[in-house]
Amino acid sequence: MGRRVLVTGASSGIGAAVAARLTDAGDTVAICARRADRLAEVPAQLRYTVDVGDLASLLEFAAQVQHDLGGVDLLINNAGAARRRPMQRITLDEFHETMNVNFWSAVHLTHALLPAMLERDSGTIVNVSSMGTRTLAGRTGAYTAAKGALNHYTEALHLDLVDTNVHAKLFIPGSTATEFSTPKEGNDTPFPQDPKMVMAVDDVARALVSFVDTDEFEGFANPAFKTQTAQKYADHSAYIAKSADMYRRR
């Protein structure tokens, strides 16, 4: 019998590719996103049209998923949305919206589903972050701030669950060839990315699905990302100064 899985942000991109892989592997997969028409195209057993940024609705949604699946063994908090604009030009409302989708939705769903996992003493929570939190990504400050909060939340949750068989894990994708990185209304700049480092969505999904079953806390879509992370923290001030020079030239 396969796992009972919930994947958020699964109407396209990484979430859709992960859902397809897990479905093919024999898991019972529930997916959610705002776009019902796109959800219908993704292989899964259950589909829910949900805006995870609407935090007030998530407790009821989580209860419905638990009822329909009979429980959730694997939660993949993948939903993400970015405002690509300098920090001084983002409104507070936009900042709150970005935090809700990228951070608070994961917290709300985790806290709704965690008690049943603890009661069974079994379960895995994978929070999908961003390589922007491991390097630097100017003009995406609201997004990387939200994902940075998700990183620290996941670290704390992992430690707090250390004496249980419930596991919290962090997955770090980088630039991925999905619509997430394309220009959108309300964004001043395209998502910053090095063309040489852009990964195919199926490769990222394969890395994530493989990572779920490892004992590692943190997984990277590309092993080279570990080196980039080390470079940042070897001399943080120098790294920021170098990055600032790059942004001045853009």
pLDDT tens digit string along 197-207? 678 999 999 99
The pLDDT > 90 percentage for the chain reads 71
Domain that holds residue 157: 4-248
Which one has a higher pLDDT value, 192 or 200?
200
pLDDT at 85: 85
Q: Whole-number mean pLDDT of the chain? A: 89
pLDDT digits (tens, 9 = 90+) for 106-130: 999 999 999 999 999 999 999 999 9
pLDDT at 170: 98
Over residues 165-193, the mean pLDDT reads 70
Question: What does the alpha-carbon distance between residue 101 and residue 221 come to, in Å, rounded to a whole number?
Answer: 22
The pLDDT > 70 percentage for the chain reads 87
Residues 6+ apart with CB under 8 A from 198: 174, 175, 176, 177, 181
pLDDT at 246: 63
Over residues 207-216, the mean pLDDT reads 97
Over residues 91-118, the mean pLDDT reads 98
pLDDT at 144: 93
pLDDT band at 134 (very low <50, low <70, confident <90, very high): confident
Instruction: Tally the domains of the chain.
Output: 1
Matching residue, tokens 């920021």 = 240
| CATH assignment of the domain containing 148 | 3.40.50.720
Indicate the residue type of 179.
Answer: E
Which one has a higher pLDDT value, 248 or 6?
6
pLDDT at 241: 79
- Give this prediction's pTM: 0.89
pLDDT at 194: 61
Least reliable range by pLDDT among 54-68, 79-93, 147-161: 79-93
pLDDT at 231: 78
Over residues 18-45, the mean pLDDT reads 97
Question: What does the alpha-carbon distance between residue 47 and residue 153 come to, in Å, rounded to a whole number?
Answer: 27
Phi–psi pair at 130, nearest 5 degrees = -155, 145
pLDDT digits (tens, 9 = 90+) for 44-74: 999 999 999 999 999 999 999 999 999 999 9
Is the predicted pLDDT of residue 83 greater than 80, yes or no?
A: yes
Residues 6+ apart with CB under 8 A from 108: 55, 58, 59, 62
Catalytic residues: 143
Over residues 96-103, the mean pLDDT reads 97
